[in-house]
Amino acid sequence: MSKSERDRFGRLISDGPISSVPALERHSSGRVRAGARASRPSIEYASDVDRILAILEEQVSAMNARVLLEKALQERNLTLDNCTVDNLRSIGGPLRRGIELFVRPDKRKGVFDAISALLGPECMEPAACVVTIKIEPDITVARNEARRICEDMGVKSFPMHKVMTIVSELARNIVSYTKGGSLEISPVHSPLKSIRIRSSDQGPGIPHLNVVLNGSYQSKTGLGKGIIGTKRLADAFDITTGPSGTVVVAEVRL
């Protein structure tokens, strides 16, 4: 966790005490309103919020527990007032970072397991994403998605830099040499924790692939440099190419 993130959480916590969690009422829209008196205490969403807070409060103060939950919602542009049950299941990544910052290392797994048991095993894991690549701004979109997944997984700066560089190189290859394609960025947890980047395009394929991969290919346009750079950065690398396009799979271990 970076110093800037720690400082941001610290400022939130030092702003003063936060009132106790209000009762929540589900509306027909699926949203909830803070401060309302729920006529049925068994309402699912209110129960889920209270249970998450109770899990956090076993390890941190009630004030800090609420800050962690509200901060995680904020990172997904949500609040307790506009959050639905499905939204609640989407905040696992930022909530995990807060837990890693404030909960003792020997207690974290128990917190992760308890929240996963409540909301589903996938809720505490960052979701994979697929980015369509056609034009230059799509490269920035792909980099931002790569950063999000890295941050949600708690990836340190060096492997994060490798992931983002690979994403940039592969996305730029698609923009520069093909009619379009896509990048899929996926967390991997077995057999080793890693991030997998899969690039596919509808280009003409890469001629002289063996020469490109051994680093001896010379091109005035820079063709092949992104591929060889990706291979050097990745811990696992595979490429297939032909007249219908190229598929590159690179994996960075964390």
Of 55, 54, 52, 93, nearest in space to 74 by CA? 93
Report percent pLDDT > 70 for the chain: 78
Tell me: the pLDDT tens digits for 143-186? 999 998 898 788 899 999 999 999 999 999 999 989 999 999 99
Topology at the third CATH level for domain 129-253: Heat Shock Protein 90 (3.30.565)
Lowest mean pLDDT among 130-144, 194-208, 213-227: 213-227
- Tell me what the mean pLDDT of segment 186-190 comes to: 87
pTM recorded for the entire structure: 0.63
If pLDDT is split at 50, 70 and 90, which confidence band does 223 have? low
**What pLDDT score was predicted for residue 26?**
37
| CATH 3.30.565.10 domain extents, the chain | 129-253
Looking at residue 213, what is its pLDDT? 83
Model pLDDT for residues 7-24, shown as the tens digit of each residue? 554 554 444 433 333 333
Tell me what pLDDT residue 48 has: 82
